[in-house]
Chains A and B, each alone.
Chain A
Amino acid sequence: EAAVTQSPRNKVAVTGGKVTLSCNQTNNHNNMYWYRQDTGHGLRLIHYSYGAGSTEKGDIPDGYKASRPSQENFSLILELATPSQTSVYFCASGHWGDQNTLYFGAGTRLSVL
């Protein structure tokens, strides 16, 4: 099965601080995604990428930046964290073709105090 590794698994940040969530995939997938999961909202797309060097805005990009320096790595950056960004963040990777499965990482639980 595809391996998607997120770090850290848990993070407590202070309001106004900078937070970087990292994601690494070892399956040479073109596409990578960052979602946040909140009760009542399901999985909401923040940013995605279709290859190294590309980042695209998802449905809720405000307050977030993304970086895809290589095929394997995709980071989510909160320059000025706010309590409203307290959530569980999932990274996923996938490849558009015959198989379109998204493989999710284990998630990062972020608390902004």
Chain B
Amino acid sequence: GEQVEQLPSILRVQEGSSASINCTYENSASNYFPWYKQEPGENPKLIIDIRSNMERKQTQGLIVLLDKKAKRFSLHITDTQPGDSAMYFCAAGGTGGYKVVFGSGTRLLVSP
């Protein structure tokens, strides 16, 4: 299978707290896992990604974890701000990178 499951669909947090989004994938050949952020009315944009040769990657308040054995990866946003409110998508890319399958998205709402 090629499906990517993403949870939760909606996530409400208070400003300054952390937010976590979880994804699972089916295809064992998947080796590239990007995360995209989509502002209202805009197109999705890459915010962070991780390859299968890594278990953790961190950049600018974003942490991505990958558990290949469990076929699970997650995004953690530390110290959330109202500007982090957006739709977030996880995705999985297979060998060769041609096919990139997205999860169903998480709407993150950060309240002041």
Range of interface residues on chain B?
A: 20 to 34
Q: How far is the CA of A59 from the CA of B49 in the complex (A)?
A: 22
Question: Max chain B CB contacts within 10 Å: which of A41, A100, A105?
Answer: A100
Q: Assuming the A-B contacts A43-B89, A43-B102, are A105 and B97 also in contact, with contact meaning beta carbons closer than 8 angstroms in the complex?
A: no
**Is B45 a contact partner of A104 (Cβ separation < 8 A)?**
yes
- Size category of the A interface is 20 to 34
Q: Which residue of A lies closest to B4 (CB)?
A: A42
65-94 of chain B: CB within 8 A of chain A: 89, 91, 93
Q: Which residue of B lies closest to A105 (CB)?
A: B43
**Which B residues have a C-beta under 8 Å from some C-beta of A?**
2, 6, 9, 32, 34, 36, 42-46, 49, 89, 91, 93, 96-105
Q: Find chain B residues with CB under 8 A from A42 CB.
A: 6, 89, 102-105
30 residue pairs A–B, Cβ–Cβ below 8 Å: A31-B98, A33-B100, A40-B9, A41-B104, A42-B102, A42-B103, A42-B104, A43-B89, A43-B105, A45-B100, A45-B101, A45-B102, A48-B98, A48-B99, A50-B96, A56-B98, A56-B99, A90-B43, A94-B97, A94-B100, A96-B96, A97-B97, A100-B34, A100-B97, A101-B34, A101-B49, A102-B34, A102-B36, A102-B100, A106-B42
